[in-house]
Amino acid sequence: MFSYLREPTPRGVGDVGVAFTDRRGGVSVGGFRSLNFGRTDVDELAALRTNMSLLRARLGIAPLQTVHQVHGTMIRHIDRVDDLQGPEGWLGDLVPGGAPVPVADSIVCTLPDVPLAIRVADCVPVVLADVHAGVIGAAHAGRVGLLTRVLQATVDAMASRGATSLEAWVGPHICGRCYEVPDDMAAQAYRALPALRARSRWHTASLDLGAGTQAVLEAAGVRVHRVDPCTLEHPDTLFSHRGSRGRAGRQIGLIWRDGSTS
């Protein structure tokens, strides 16, 4: 069910849980086998609901807060109970009477016991926390997001809510040996963010999204944990957009702050 799991431990303040799901332990079939949380317009609704129930039961967490990701820099803020999606909010208007999932590529939250989720299948899921300030965040950082500074925007938004000492976890994504891009796209990306420079296993221009993510976060003073196996190289355990020629399911990066000890 997880490529990485860090459960909250009581430390006298509300500690955070961090999870990056993988493909295993769900009920979706075919290209979505099996723990799929995305492509909700295509996968079976019943399977999606079961996958979410299994995840929430395993972690003992409240309804996940999600966004409709569009490679932008919009941030969804959650500061009040009124800001929360209900248990089926992640399915948006696929559920009769449901509200559309808010459009954003980042979420920043100051409430305890609220899990934030980013859905990915090659892009970089990043989750962040200042445990002592009680602020958490989650962001979708692909090539476009890195270049449009979605991570800097997220860090700034967290700072505006009191975060002063951030750490971040960088989850599974396509690696620099696999993420081949056209030469002109690579050149533009290298100019904007030199840490992206890489060569593919085929000796062509590629982007190292993990190195780019780490460089951006460290420049912003964030302590970085890399827990990021390559999605393309692990088809049995991770969804990959490229590996499935665009028909992949989605795994999620997840963070929540334990309110029971705060």
Residue 49 Cα to chain centre, angstroms: 19
The smaller minimum CB distance to Zn ion, of residues 221 and 235, is found at: 235
Residues that bind Zn ion (CB under 5 A): 175, 177-178, 230, 232-233
Shortest Å distance, C-beta 207 to Zn ion:
12
Q: What is the dihedral of CA 188, 157, 217, 220, to 10 degrees?
A: 100
Q: How far is the CB of 212 from Zn ion (least distance, A)?
A: 15
β strands within 112-181, DSSP E:
116-120, 124-130, 135-141, 167-170
Length of the chain: 262
Instruction: Write down the least CB distance from residue 122 to Zn ion, Å.
Output: 10
The C-alpha angle 44, 46, 52, rounded to 5 degrees, equals: 105
- Distance in Å, CB of 199 to Zn ion, minimum: 12
Structure token pair of residue 42? 């295509």
Query: Which residue lies nearer to Zn ion by CB, 156 or 233?
Result: 233
Kindly state the smallest distance separating residue 209's Cβ from Zn ion, in Å.
11
Per residue, what are the HEC states of 42-87?
Answer: CCCHHHHHHHHHHHHHHHCCCCCECCECCCCCCEEEECCHHHCCCC
The beta strand positions in the chain, using DSSP E, are 2-6, 16-21, 75-78, 106-109, 116-120, 124-130, 135-141, 167-170, 197-199, 205-207, 223-226, 251-257
Question: Hey, what are 255's tokens?
Answer: 């963070």
Q: Please state the closest distance from residue 3 (CB atom) to Zn ion, in A.
A: 14
Query: Which residue's CB is nearer to Zn ion, number 28 or number 240?
Result: 240
Cβ at position 117, least distance to Zn ion in Å: 24
- Cα distance between residue 114 and residue 218, in whole Å: 26
CA separation for the pair 196, 39 (Å, rounded): 28
Which lies closer to Zn ion via its Cβ, residue 167 or residue 233?
233
